[in-house]
A and B are shown apart, each in its own frame.
Chain A
Amino acid sequence: MSQWGFYFDPDKCIGCHACSQACTVRNDIDEGDVTWRRVEHVGEGTFPDYEEISISMGCYHCAEPECRDVCPTHALEKRAEDGIVTIEQDRCIGCNYCSYACPYGAIQFGEDGLAQKCHGCLGSGAGDGHGSPPREESETARETPACVDNCVTGALDSGPINELLRGASTAAAEEFRSDDSGPAVVLEPATGTEGVSGDDG
């Protein structure tokens, strides 16, 4: 199985929210409270030594998905062909257990009370991921997901993990390989700014 995943470089991310907006547009998400992808702005330090890092977050289609492990009905499944974790809307009972299991807050609930989340743009809209054919054979899946399609600086990428690893730095690749039960995301280290200028005064 060729795990499909994400690549993200926080040094390149400019926190513009194009990714989260693109996901919302492509998947026709109407409700303001539902965000399959979002940008976290993490601040550190006090003025003038203040810094921010922007992180684009969504579902990482983990190797051992916590959400799937706790789902009573197996509405959440990890596909065999590409490792994408999908939600079968017709099996979900809306118990919310999965959302507490996910360390990344990826699972969202719309007004219908059912779980929905990123499915790597195998389709567009909640529930479109489940049952979709492999990406290459699908008529509805996009080659690149909406978020990647519009990342202004190329901080976000997606594809088979092996390919992503090839394009990543050694540090990122090593970090990924050190834990094989975790999220399918190749993460570049955040080096932040070299130094901020400010006066003593």
Chain B
Amino acid sequence: MDEDERSKVRRRTFLKGAAGALSVAAAGCVDRDSGAVAHAEAAHETAYNNCWICRASCGQEVTLEDGTAVDLTGVDGHPKASAGPGAEGTLCSKGLAQLDKTYNPNRITRPYIREDGELRSAEWDEAIAYAAERLESFREEHGPEKLLRYQGYPIGGEFHDLLFRDLYGAPIQVGRKTTCHGPFSDSWEWMAGYGREWPDWRNSEYMIAWGRNPMECFRGQWEPKGIMETIEENDATLVCIDPRYTKTAEVADRWIPIEPRTDGALALAMGHVIIEEGLHDEEFIEEWTYGFDAYREAVADKTPEWAAGITDVDAETIREVAIGFAEAAPRAVAFPFTGLSFQGNGFKNCQNVHALNGLVGNIDRKGGTRHWRAGFSLTDPFEERGIDVPANHEGRPTPDYDDYPYQRHIRDLSHNAVPTAVERGDIRGFVNNWSAPLKSGNSEAWADALEAMDLVITVDAFWSGVSRRADVVFPGASTLEQPFLATGGDSAYSESGWVTASDALIEPVGDCRTDYEIYSALATELGWGEYFPWEDAVEFYDEQLSGIGRSFEDIAERSYEIVADVKYEQWREHGFDTETGKFQFDLDVVDGYAALAEETDVSTAPEWHPPDDDLYGETTDEEYPLLLTDGFVQQLSRGHCQALDDAREEYLDRFGFRYEGYDGNLLHINPSDADPRGIETGDRVRVESPDGHVELVAHVYEGVRPGWLFAVSGFGAYSLAPDEAGANMMTMNTERHVEPVSGQVDRNLPVEVSRVGGETA
């Protein structure tokens, strides 16, 4: 049997058990784990909660036993957790690991303050007083404009903003558009006038998941459920464009493993075909769009043959997809996301893909891309109570970063620019709320910056590169321990807005406190107690909900309510919130972008822009011949699931590493790249870029495009993975790795890989 073909089998460590065997055997007749409770006797109840692991708010039905949460599942009919009215609610594997998160023994459960250079645990009063004192002297010495705000997935985010932005007066924050989806959302915002589009999957007949993995990374169960349902009921087509064979590729009708970063060319060619075939929505284009002529001109010579040479996608395939997409329109959607957002040339690529939706007129139409809204607003409790909240951040001096192309026109500070800002003295402090910035961009520079700062305060749950460098660590409560309220938005209810809420189900673990408790205590200490008059977040949410005639308890009892109707084609009534009031193919009317475009010699209309080793991403070469991207998988959300044994084990199990004694992320590499380098699955490998190197374990398989490498982010140095297992790709990321239009971190690095001696464990 050929060595290459011989199947590699998996094994548990053969000699496992030798050491522990004696102690086990000595126990003789071993009774089963006494932890298993006789259920019939225990007090058993179910209650509702909301999942915030990936920030989708899926309704959770939690089983409690004597005040301890022991089991959970999704809430039936929930807008996020189910497929719609009457449908069964489920939770994904991340949501199911909530118990591991809440009861994790590694959780930070007490406040910590830094004394004589060392972090030590403290009582709440002491920690609050200490933090307040440090904040006051910071303000005196540096001014509030030098305090950077950073929020990740906060539960009480509005309280953090109220305290630090409105009251304390810190104007600068790092926006998620520079760590997550800038190219995608900035382009869409300029083209269509609203924040983020999201597909109406459930009703769609032709779906292109473009650098998007909805079967694994979804904003609630409703996405994969909706996609599977429309495939079954409407015989819908799903196309997956991704250099990686994801679970989306698994259920898709087509997997297009495109040459990375060439998505813009593919989109233009598709536009070319659609116009050539006359399948574009003439009426919509005529009445509701601006700049179509520029678009038509831009795609005039972008034939599928032209694109095939660039994208490595068959010209025939390009035609078929374009025609299939356009014929199914308006019940069709081309949806780019993280895959394109992480690219140095991602802005133009996204613009080109977004343009396709305008071209076939599927915007805010059934089965197309949807302008999801809650459709109602909540009461402003401050207004109700006549509390005049100051805006102390307005008018504060902010630094001038005109030497950065994007800083001129993006609202918040770009993540990768923060270390320089610290170096220049523009930022000297940092307040973090449930975020892990050291996985989001230039980690090394950021770590140094944190250490250089005068004051770092964080609300956190696990020890990480940030919390270890903090001056004050406040232990935050998990969703099971705090009240929750969310409205929206994208869900299984295509034409409705909803609200979901839940109360705390268990006492906070250890000494943890809710977001509201933390921020109100801090505010009070700083003399702003009057702005936090509510007893707890429940009272606040209650007042918010009065605007729709509900009480907090009303909603929390039922987990959710469908509140408003949100029609399709909202643009008929309000137009598009853009400069021209229309959907803009050409962004020449967006002043900030137009200026940048001219400066960098780029068209404002859709255009193919390859990485250029200048502003728009670095190319591979002989020395660094492989392209590395890091991203996400279903089992791990962003930067915190890595701390949970359960979640990590499911991830490793997926790739056959459950029993290997290796706890970190894997480098996924195609055999055609691995074989010449003598790399096999399980080998330790070294990934090297011009700016650094990391080491992790390889997983060799055919599911990644040759010449391209993938790894899950959130592991390694500075992460909250136990023992910082695995590798943090962002330690090779530097300030210059930025997409110049949105300021989004560019996570595509040219690298070389080599085998390092030694096995996995």
Listed in ascending order, the chain A residues whose CB lies under 8 Å from chain B are 11-12, 14-18, 20-22, 24-26, 28, 32-33, 35, 38-39, 41, 43, 45-48, 50-54, 89-90, 110-114, 123-128, 139-140, 146, 149-154, 193-201
Contacts and interface: CB of A to CB of B under 8 A. Distances in A.
B703 A52 contact: yes
B71 A26 contact: yes
B721 to A, nearest CB: 14
Given A12-B228, A41-B654, A123 B70 contact: no
B250 A52 contact: yes
Nearest to B308: A199
A139 B65 CA distance: 14
Nearest to B706: A47
Contact of B314 (A114, A151, A194, A199): A199
Interface stretch (B252-260, B490-498, B519-527, B684-692): B252-260
B124 interface: no
A111 B24 CA distance: 8
A33 B658 CA distance: 7
B209 to A, nearest CB: 13
B73 A150 contact: yes
8 contacts: A16-B215, A25-B96, A46-B671, A111-B20, A126-B32, A150-B74, A152-B90, A198-B314
Nearest to A11: B251
A110 B635 CA distance: 24
A161 to B, nearest CB: 21
A11 B521 CA distance: 53
A20 B12 CA distance: 19
A151 to B, nearest CB: 7
Interface stretch (B35-43, B177-185, B330-338): B35-43
CB-based closest 5 A-B pairs: A125-B36, A21-B93, A50-B702, A17-B93, A21-B96
Which residue, of A12, A16, A146, A193, has the highest number of chain B Cβ atoms within 10 A? A16
Given A22-B93, A26-B70, 10 more contacts: A15-B654, A22-B91, A24-B96, A35-B658, A39-B653, A43-B703, A51-B250, A110-B33, A111-B20, A113-B30
**Number of chain B interface residues as a range:** 35 or more
B703 A50 contact: yes
B702 A14 contact: no
B662 interface: no
A195 B30 CA distance: 53
Contacts of A199: 308, 312-314
A17 B40 contact: no
Interface in B656-682: 658-659, 670-672
Given A50-B702, A112-B24, A112-B32, A18 B90 contact: yes
A22 to B, nearest CB: 5
Nearest to B659: A33
B420 interface: no
A179 to B, nearest CB: 25
Interface in B308-339: 308, 312-314, 317
Interface string B644-658: 011101100111001
Interface string B9-36: 0001000000010001101011111011
Contact of A193 (B20, B253, B655, B706): B253
Interface of B: 12, 20, 24-25, 27, 29-33, 35-36, 39-40, 70-74, 88, 90-93, 96-97, 99, 215-216, 221, 224-225, 228, 245, 247, 249-257, 308, 312-314, 317, 634-635, 645-647, 649-650, 653-655, 658-659, 670-672, 701-706
B64 to A, nearest CB: 13
B224 A14 contact: yes
Contacts of B31: 89-90
B97 A197 contact: no
A22 B73 CA distance: 8
Contact of A14 (B32, B216, B672): B216
Contacts of B249: 52, 196
B32 A114 contact: yes
Nearest to A47: B702
A152 B91 CA distance: 7
B40 A139 contact: yes
Given A52-B250, A151-B90, A25 B72 contact: yes
B245 A50 contact: yes
Contact of A25 (B71, B92, B255, B655): B71
Contacts of B257: 47-48, 197-198
Given A17-B653, A25-B72, A38-B653, A128 B247 contact: no
A162 B224 CA distance: 29
Contacts of B635: 16-17
A131 to B, nearest CB: 12
B654 A152 contact: no
A48 to B, nearest CB: 5
B250 A150 contact: no
